[in-house]
Amino acid sequence: MANGTEVQLLFDAERHHYQVLNFGWKEQRRIYGVIIHVDIKDKKIWIQRDGT
């Protein structure tokens, strides 16, 4: 945990959805965001969000 935030991996291998999230608290402010979201469709990698 850094600065009261946490990184979490979310994998749904059955449906081929993969995400890395950042969430927690920074001072009095709630933090939540998707760092990266990748899907596999038709044997292709779809980058839905790349916040790296």
Domain residue ranges in the chain: 5-50
pTM: 0.81
Residue 3, pLDDT score: 67
- Residues 45 and 52: their CA atoms lie apart, in Å, by 17
CA 35 – CA 32 distance, rounded (Å):
10
HSE on the CB side for 29, CA within 13 Å? 5
Tell me which fold the domain 5-50 belongs to: TATA-Binding Protein (3.30.310)
Question: Could you report the average pLDDT of every consecutive run of 10 residues in the chain (52 residues)?
Answer: 84 98 92 98 98 94
Q: Give the pLDDT score at 12.
A: 98
pLDDT reported for residue 28: 86
In the chain, the amino acid numbered 6 is E
Q: Please write down the long-range contacts of 13-16, taking CB distance under 8 Å and 24 or more positions apart.
A: 16/40, 16/41
